[in-house]
Structure 1
Amino acid sequence: MTGTRKAVRDAVDAQRPAGAGLDARLVVERGAFRLDLRLAAAPGDVVALLGPNGAGKSTALRALAGLLTLTDGHLRLDGVELDRTPAHARPVGVVFQDYLLFPHLSAVDNVAFGPRCHGVPKAEARAQAAAWLERMGLAGYGSAKPRRLSGGQAQRVALARALATHPRLLLLDEPLAALDARTRLEVRAQLRRHLADFEAVAVLVTHDPLDAMVLADHLVVIEDGGIVQEGAPADIARHPRTDYIAHLVGLNLYRGQAGGRTVRVEGGAGIAVTDKLTGPVFVAFPPSAVTLHRDRPDGSAVNLWPCEVAGLETHGDRIRADLTGELPLAADLAAVAAAELDLRPGATVWAAVAAEKTHAYHA
């Protein structure tokens, strides 16, 4: 969140009654799986639930929407208990992954559907829907049926339909997953603008770290039905606390014991760092900080480990090398450098990382 945007929201928050926003503890048991998740957000906040498949993200979303009954816990929105309120009576808007637009209705009638269900007369509901479509940049598409819309256009119609009822909680279930890469970039930017203007709470479910980092003010990372880390996107990106998060943000991550400026990780490898710490710590560094050598390099490199190439992947104009050995790690290097080193699975190399490229922090 930018400083200006945060200052405006802080000023508005100061005028809101106590209890405004979302206050929930979602406990849902389904067979052997148990979700236990606490969520709190003020009006205007965008919270992203991020996690691998099966972590419990969709279960949480369905519980918030009223499509799943809580086993335990509570759900309060603007101070009102919603635990036993049926889905259709909740002030909640949902944008589904596949949008679920009514195929037999035009775009304007899809958007007008919500206001009509709330008792708004047909002509007024259609006028409101037309205004929402104009706001979404779709003024000329009111009469179009969903099959005539592109993926990005359908996503914006679905968002307009969810917002047309003026929900106090907006739920977005993988809203960009059905889009191709080029459309996704454009629609993500548009969605960010719309969410910046949304005055209630928005909860975004995604497994895409870029969507979460760009769209959300607060990240909640879920694994196996529980929270493993939460905070501002920048803080989580800089201080990952699980392998899953480190992989998402593109960092090598290790846990170990610090003694001064050396961290001893599981397996016995030592990592020299610039941060002077003691006790349990994490150490992280990007794959781009790793340099590879076929022969042991001369010089005074402190962090130097013999490794074996386990695999190679192409990432744009870079090559990602997965390395095993005393300290398993990932290294990124230019394609020409990989060719010069004759990298291939099974090749032995030396991996070096400058101490100043590492970042150590308390576990």
Structure 2
Amino acid sequence: MTNTRPTAPDGGGPAREPADSRPLRPAADDGARTPSGADGEARTGGNLDPAGGHPRPAAGLDARLVVDRPAFRLDITLTAAPGDVVALLGPNGAGKTTALRALAGLTPLTDGHLRLDGTSLEDTPTESRPVGVVFQDYLLFPHLSALDNVAFGPRCRGAGKAEARAQAAAWLERMGLAGHAGAKPRRLSGGQAQRVALARALATRPRLLLLDEPLAALDARTRLEVRAQLRRHLAEFEAVSVLVTHDPLDAMVLADRLVVVEHGRVVQEGTPTDIARRPRTDYIAQLVGLNLYRGQAAGHTVRLHAGPAITTTEELSGPVFVAFPPSAVTLFRDRPSGASARNLWHCEVAGLETQGDQIRAALTGDLPLAADLTTVAAAELDLHPGASVWATVKATQTHAYPA
């Protein structure tokens, strides 16, 4: 069942879900996620939910999502094995939400395909799809208790009231909310409401779990705690999870694989480590906090398409990217005479921003870049917008890779 915007439960619903739908596996002792296929085989056995169920083989998600709209076209491919958590990242208007709605059956495909566990879903009614959704604002029934909110899914699948409430109680206990079963949503904290919404989505035993900015409604302190809890619950989920988020930290912590979407297309995908180490667009570089440039390499020298040359430790040839962190940049007010760094550029301070106990300087000039320095260093250099500075970066602190 797709958990779309709730309507008041009436005690009825479609026929009960077949007993072979596979839910969460028992929690690992350390809460760490086991990568799918780590043992060379699909994970298929011993995966029961708190209320019971039977395991079955699963093939995961295989989708090409094509949605045409005036002045916009989404065309992306998504694949994921059972147990994978995939994060969709991208700027506003990139197509992330459209992709999520297409997976849920809320937005029809113009072209492409959507297969889950080998079954085509393009013509399957939204309410009949084995898909659970956790919305950004959770959409809990305000007039129902936490227990009855979670029981709503099993009730719609044909479970009797007592059975549905028993399943819901098991899920709330798993989420650490047994003591809040009788509470209405208005009496729950943001983190508690998020876990109730997650329990409601999982109570239908979905084969695909969709999470739309699941932590966006939380304050910074609560977000840290709930992120850790959500990571544990996703690590236990045996089917496919797709997460949409604007927060790179949420994506890095929660996902096994990142898919970056810009202008309706996938521009890069890979593990969080791969993406962070080798960004391929300015958007991704900003997400992971790197200065990124593109140029032509000849040996250890990269001539930028619009700008100076950068000396690197890698010896390459042809089109390349060059990246380095803002922390690798050293600033001087006067041209350094004895600097060992081969990379030296004359710049001007365009802006200053406080980031925790550091100052990030945005520089223009020979090479537009960002530089991080301590507040003490910024004061000693008397940095201010318009100040003239020299920036250096050691070749050993750059990273070049094929474009």
Same fold per superposition (TM over 0.5): yes
Q: Residue 293 of structure 1 contacts residue 349 of structure 1 at CA under 8 Å; is this kept in 2?
A: yes
Partner in structure 1 of residue 35 of structure 2 = 6
CA distance in 2, matches of 1:230, 1:293: 38
- Structure 1 gaps of 5+ residues are none
The one-letter code sitting in structure 1 at the alignment partner of 2:84 is D
- Structure 2 gaps of 5+ residues are 1-30, 46-55
Deviation at 1:84, TM superposition (A): 1.2
Partner in structure 1 of residue 279 of structure 2 = 240
Provide Cα deviations, 1:118-159, integer angstroms capped at 9, x if missing partner.
Answer: 001100100110110010010100000000000000000000
The answer as to 2:139 corresponding to 1:110 is no
CA distance in 1, matches of 2:64, 2:58: 15
**What is the aligned counterpart of 2:173 among 134, 151, 155?**
134
CA distance in 2, matches of 1:19, 1:8: 12
CA distance in 2, matches of 1:131, 1:19: 24
TM-score norm. by structure 1 comes to 0.97
Partner in structure 2 of residue 33 of structure 1 = 72
C-alpha spacing 1:7/1:32, structure 2 compared with 1 (3 Å): closer
Output aligned runs, 1:306-321, within 5 Å: 306-321=346-361
CA distance in 1, matches of 2:276, 2:36: 23
- The total of aligned residue pairs comes to 362
C-alpha spacing 1:19/1:190, structure 2 compared with 1 (3 Å): closer
Deviation at 1:268, TM superposition (A): 3.4
Partner in structure 1 of residue 369 of structure 2 = 329
**What is the aligned counterpart of 1:255 among 269, 275, 294?**
294
User: Between Structure 1 and Structure 2, which shows a larger proportion of helix residues?
Assistant: 1
Q: Secondary structure at the match of 1:199?
A: coil
Deviation at 1:355, TM superposition (A): 0.5
Output aligned runs, 1:207-218, within 5 Å: 207-218=246-257
Provide Cα deviations, 1:208-258, integer angstroms capped at 9, x if missing partner.
Answer: 100000000010000000000000110000000000000000000000000
Deviation at 1:298, TM superposition (A): 1.8
Partner in structure 2 of residue 357 of structure 1 = 397
Moved beyond 6 Å, runs of 4+: 16-19
The answer as to 2:94 corresponding to 1:55 is yes
Q: Residue 43 of structure 2 contacts residue 82 of structure 2 at CA under 8 Å; is this kept in 1?
A: no
Q: Secondary structure at the match of 1:26?
A: strand
CA distance in 1, matches of 2:90, 2:190: 24
Q: Secondary structure at the match of 1:322?
A: strand
Partner in structure 2 of residue 160 of structure 1 = 199
- Percent identity among equivalent residues? 78
CA distance in 2, matches of 1:12, 1:183: 37
Q: Residue 9 of structure 1 contacts residue 44 of structure 1 at CA under 8 Å; is this kept in 2?
A: no
Q: Secondary structure at the match of 1:267?
A: coil
Output aligned runs, 1:332-351, within 5 Å: 332-351=372-391
Partner in structure 2 of residue 221 of structure 1 = 260
- Aligned alpha-carbon RMSD (Å): 1.6
C-alpha spacing 1:8/1:265, structure 2 compared with 1 (3 Å): closer
Deviation at 1:10, TM superposition (A): 3.7
C-alpha spacing 1:310/1:261, structure 2 compared with 1 (3 Å): same
TM-score norm. by structure 2 comes to 0.88
Q: Secondary structure at the match of 1:275?
A: strand
